[in-house]
Amino acid sequence: MDDKYLPAIYTGFALGIAFLGWRIDNAYYLQLLIFIGLNTLLALSLNMLMGYAGQISLGHAAFYGIGAYVTAILSTTYQVPPLLALPAAVGAAMLIAWIVGMPTLRLSGYYLGMGTLGFGMIVHIVLREWSSVTGGASGFVGIPPLTVGPVEFASNKSYFFLVWAVVLAVIFLCRRIIDSRVGRALCAIHDGEKAAAAVGVNTRRLKLQVFVLSAGIAALAGFLYAHLVFFISPGSFGFMASIKIVTMVVIGGMASIWGALFGASLLTLLPEWLHAFSEFEMVVYGLILMVVMIFMPRGLTRGLMDIYERYRKTHDRQ
Amino acid sequence: MQELLQYLFSGMTNGAVYAVIALGFSMLYSSTDLINFAHGEFVMLGALCMVSLTAGAGLALVPAFFVTVAAVAAAGMLFERLAIRPVRHPQPIVLIIITVGASIFLRGTGMLIWGKDAHSMPPFLDIAPIDIAGARLLAQSVWILVIVTALAAGLHLFYKKTLTGKAMTACAVNKKGAWIVGIPFKWMVLLAFGMSTGLGAVAGASIAPITMSSYDMGTILGLKGFCGAMLGGLGSLWGAILGGFLLGILEAMGVGFVSSGFKDATAFLLLLLVLYVRPQGILGTAEVKRF
Amino acid sequence: MNGTAKPMTGSDPILEIRDVDKAFGGVQALDRIGFALEKASITGLIGPNGAGKTTLFNVITGIFAPDAGDIRFAGQSIENLEVHQRVSLGIARTFQNVELFESMTAMENILVGLYTRTRAGMIQSMLRLPRTRQEEARARDQAMELLKFVGLQDYASRKSGDLPFGWQRMLEVARAMAAQPHLLLLDEPAAGLNMSETGHLGELIKEIRKQGITILLVEHDMSLTMSISDQIVVLDQGRKIAEGTPRAVQEDEAVMAAYLGKKANPTND
């Protein structure tokens, strides 16, 4: 991506989103686009951790769930205004990420994956079993809508604009981090942790920082989710949810913001398209995962670009 | 006292199942350096195949058992050939996604074949539960224990005494070196997958009589089996047995003395404990990737 | 963190290694190693394969802790410092197998090398205040200077993994220099280089010495090592078997025996 055109691309994108929000009135489509937005936030959060810093996390839905449940509990049980619950939700996730991250990020490869998996499962079980606080397996009802001053974000349209404004802001900030000293250090850790340390990068601290950051973004998505659907249950934050987020990042293309967007869109729309197959849904989903990873391990966006490059090269020769 | 014994017995039964599943993980890892996230689904396939062959097709126990194991092992080898071997750059994240995809695929297939219902089958031997000091031990549990012991002994002999077994170990230790001395690496990996998934099928077939088998039983069993393998030491056969049993017993104690809801958490808490404190597990000596 | 080394007096050796032991399993990789490096000197560390040279580098840079012994840099013990902290202090290194950040450009590699000499954190990067932007601009200028120093200024935007091997080595040296080290450890920098590249490397190392930087050089290329080093330390099987000027070492019998050569002068491999 040529950096010169980046501001223009982002502006165009933002305008395109605004246009969609203005013109689409169908509740189903709006909800779908909102979910693409939420999933983009999740994919972005994991992308910072996995795509740039190269750390596998198979339990990321836990932070999504923590964000959702903290705001649900505070704003419903304790009548805290949702806007005040926001820093608590994000802060709780970041604190937990910090505590868990310290021992876990010392691991690498499969062991890191398993450690994050174990963490994710434990959070899921806690959400499911601590019924007195979380409502248990049957879920948590009665979450109030999000109000910011006089504005109540209860309609699909208002939520669409809210979520996508947040997405654009997060993209903007993530882009800034990636193009900075910290972003380069993260890529360095990904390319060669030993060498990164040898040039003076405090790899342990940086990995922890990006882990905490990504937890915060995921919790933000959880916050928005809770005040969108007004009812949450532990089932949305389990192992499959974590895998879905990983899939979005990996299939979309790691270390690519557009990849995160693409992966999120694909994995939000795919179940909708697969409804036609209904009972073949899992079979098809699993097949797609396997096929894409076998033939395009760098993700669909890179894979498609590679194919395009090869096509162009063979045609240039003629 | 009776309570404790009961927990011990049920813990040992579950532990034996976890042990066989853990064996599958450890065995594959020690032969190929791979972790198969879809392993639990092969357990599921073993269980459901067994049910279908005995109840549906009316096959006798012993032939049904062997057909199940053979069929699932074949499926495992097909899986290796189609989904693992073609991978050009086998990094952990790529293999994790592929095996997770396979897990979803197999679960979907299981649902297509056997539906969403749970299936059961009668135990291998129609014997009443054995009464020991007031606690009851199911006959099937004894079967499972016997099978586990036989498997452990068998695998031990395989790796230590047979040429194939030694060749397999060689491949895991040094791929290039094994290739240079003429060990057919690709066949070894294929065999390893067949053996590993076959072990999974044994686990599934053994528990089919004492549990309700359904298409989604594999995931949590697989994860717990993996925790058992890590606890005992990934790559160590006796470690897998030890870890599996230990997990089963600790889980049962947890259910008995704490609460049943958090039963599943035991496995994962132990996993985290192992990873943080002693990643090579109780019996493992493998080099752990820790920076 | 982003600290600078303690100011040194002219007479202190910049690096002192005393009685350093390191064993792996049953193998004694380093056995009571001791020597000192004078400021702004070039020391060649030679010895047959397996002598412990890279292990010594890893101990000095902090990848391994020694089993026994003492390492003092600029007069202070660095035992409890982690790898990245030693870089801040002023010790930089290159690797035997070039370890560049292959997905990043040459410029970006050097910018990472400047990590300890810059300070913008995550939050500052998000805000991108004027001070951060200035630091970034300054860093890019410095990186360009370093690229010029090794002759790679025209390849700043080339992906480092795509560069020819000899240039990758140069880039790695430039990246190590970015940390503004007082001590530079070069691990077989001439391996895989042809004659003219090796000559260029030798000139480069001498230029680095002119800047007041001390260099410890592990090399198998004897003509390079002997021609540029002020002193030579010879290791064999974990032990120091000789130390002195290049000439003295070349005539040392223990050294000749270690290399199994019957010739009077050890030659290039």
Rounded to two decimals, the ipTM of the complex is: 0.87
User: Which residues in chain C have Cβ-Cβ distances shorter than 8 Å to A45?
Assistant: none
Closest CB to B108 among A194, A250, A280: A280
In a domain, A267, yes or no: no
pTM of the model: 0.89
Is C88 an 8 Å CB contact of chain A?
yes
Q: Which amino acid is at A147?
A: T
Closest CB to A187 among C61, C101, C136: C101
Distance from C-alpha of C51 to C-alpha of C56, rounded to nearest angstrom: 10
Q: Calculate the average pLDDT of chain C.
A: 88
Share of chain B above pLDDT 90, in %: 31
pLDDT (tens digit per residue) in C32-55: 999 999 999 999 999 888 788 999
CB B291 to CB A114 under 8 A? Answer: no
In a domain, A286, yes or no: no
CB A196 to CB C112 under 8 A? Answer: yes
Q: Greater confidence, A220 or B13?
A: A220
Edge-first strand order for the sheet with C27-37 is C27-37, C15-24, C68-73, C76-77
Query: What residue spans of chain A are helical by DSSP H?
Result: 6-23, 27-46, 61-72, 82-104, 109-129, 131-134, 156-178, 181-191, 193-198, 203-229, 239-252, 257-274, 281-295, 300-316
Dihedral sign computed on CA atoms, order C24, C30, C32, C37: negative
Domain that holds residue A160: 3-237
> Residues C243-249: what's their mean pLDDT?
89
Q: Is the pLDDT of residue B51 over 60?
A: yes
Of B2-6, B214-218, C54-58, C246-250, the one with minimum mean pLDDT is B2-6
pLDDT (tens digit per residue) in A132-178: 888 888 999 989 999 887 888 888 889 999 999 999 999 999 999 99
The first and second tokens of residue C147, run together, are 């690229």
In a domain, A120, yes or no: yes
**pLDDT at A126 (0 to 100):** 93
User: Which residues in chain A have Cβ-Cβ distances shorter than 8 Å to B216?
Assistant: none
Of B158-162, B168-172, C95-99, the one with minimum mean pLDDT is B168-172
Is C64 an 8 Å CB contact of chain A?
no
C contact chains, 3+ CB pairs < 8 A: A
Q: How does residue C160 score in pLDDT terms, banded at 50, 70 and 90? A: very high
CB A184 to CB C108 under 8 A? Answer: yes
Distances (CA, A) of C112 to A201, B257, C175: 8, 54, 8
Residue A130 C-alpha, separation from nearest chain B C-alpha, in angstroms: 9
Closest CB to A294 among B83, B111, B275: B83
Pick the CATH number of B2-122+136-277 from 3.40.1350, 3.30.479, 1.10.443, 1.10.3470: 1.10.3470
pLDDT (tens digit per residue) in A250-308: 888 888 888 899 999 998 998 888 777 778 888 888 898 899 889 888 787 777 877 88
User: Which residues in chain C have Cβ-Cβ distances shorter than 8 Å to A196?
Assistant: 101, 112
CB C84 to CB A213 under 8 A? Answer: no
Mutation target for A interface from C101, C105, C111, C162: give the one with most A CBs within 10 A.
Answer: C101
**pLDDT at A173 (0 to 100):** 94
**Cα-based torsion angle of the residue sequence C31, C34, C37, C38 in order, rounded to the nearest 10 degrees:** -170
> Residues B137-148: what's their mean pLDDT?
81
pLDDT (tens digit per residue) in B244-264: 999 999 998 888 777 777 788
CB C179 to CB A176 under 8 A? Answer: no
Residue A189 C-alpha, separation from nearest chain C C-alpha, in angstroms: 9
**pLDDT at C138 (0 to 100):** 95
Closest CB to C83 among A177, A185, A197: A197
Helix, strand or coil for residue C231? strand
Q: Is the pLDDT of residue A123 over 90?
A: yes
**pLDDT at B183 (0 to 100):** 78
Q: Is the pLDDT of residue A23 over 50?
A: yes
Dihedral sign computed on CA atoms, order B33, A189, B270, A132: negative
In a domain, A224, yes or no: yes
Contact B45, B119 (CB under 8 A): no
Considering its fold, how many domains does chain A have in total?
Answer: 1
Tell me how many degrees the CA angle C155-A197-C213 measures, rounded to the nearest 5.
70
Share of chain B above pLDDT 70, in %: 96
Considering only alpha carbons, which residue of chain A is nearest residue B215?
A282
**pLDDT at C133 (0 to 100):** 92
Is C122 an 8 Å CB contact of chain A?
yes
Report how many Cβ contacts below 8 Å link chain A to chain C. Answer: 91
**pLDDT at A2 (0 to 100):** 47
Q: Is the pLDDT of residue B285 over 80?
A: no
**Which CATH fold would you assign to the domain C1-90+181-269?**
Rossmann fold (3.40.50)
CB C92 to CB A199 under 8 A? Answer: yes
User: Which residues in chain B have Cβ-Cβ distances shorter than 8 Å to A118?
Assistant: 227, 268-269, 271-272, 275
Residue C46 C-alpha, separation from nearest chain A C-alpha, in angstroms: 22
**pLDDT at A3 (0 to 100):** 61
User: Which residues in chain B have Cβ-Cβ distances shorter than 8 Å to A281?
Assistant: 108
User: Which residues in chain A have Cβ-Cβ distances shorter than 8 Å to C98?
Assistant: none
The secondary structure element, H or E, covering residue A280 is none
The first and second tokens of residue A35, run together, are 């979910």
**Which CATH fold would you assign to the domain C99-180?**
Rossmann fold (3.40.50)
Contact B175, B182 (CB under 8 A): no
3-state SS string for chain B: CHHHHHHHHHHHHHHHHHHHHHHHHHHHHHHHCCCCCCHHHHHHHHHHHHHHHHHHCCCCHHHHHHHHHHHHHHHHHHHHHHHHCCCCCCCHHHHHHHHHHHHHHHHHHHHHHHCCCCECCCCCCCCCCEEECCEEECHHHHHHHHHHHHHHHHHHHHHHHCHHHHHHHHHHHCHHHHHHCCCCHHHHHHHHHHHHHHHHHHHHHHHHHHCCECCCCHHHHHHHHHHHHHHHCCCCHHHHHHHHHHHHHHHHHHHHHCCCCCHHHHHHHHHHHHHHHCCCCCCCCCCCCEC
| B with C: touching (≥3 Cβ pairs within 8 Å) | no
pLDDT (tens digit per residue) in A24-44: 888 899 999 999 999 999 999
Q: How does residue B106 score in pLDDT terms, banded at 50, 70 and 90? A: very high
Residue A217 C-alpha, separation from nearest chain B C-alpha, in angstroms: 22
Q: How does residue C269 score in pLDDT terms, banded at 50, 70 and 90? A: very low
pLDDT (tens digit per residue) in C179-199: 999 999 999 999 889 999 999
Indicate where chain C has its CATH 3.40.50.300 domain(s): 1-90+181-269, 99-180
Share of chain A above pLDDT 70, in %: 98
Domain ranges (residues) in chain B? 2-122+136-277
**pLDDT at A176 (0 to 100):** 92
Mutation target for C interface from A172, A180, A191, A199: give the one with most C CBs within 10 A.
Answer: A199
Residue B112 C-alpha, separation from nearest chain A C-alpha, in angstroms: 7
Closest CB to A285 among B97, B104, B230: B104
**pLDDT at B108 (0 to 100):** 92
Closest CB to C122 among A182, A191, A203: A182
Q: How does residue C88 score in pLDDT terms, banded at 50, 70 and 90? A: very high
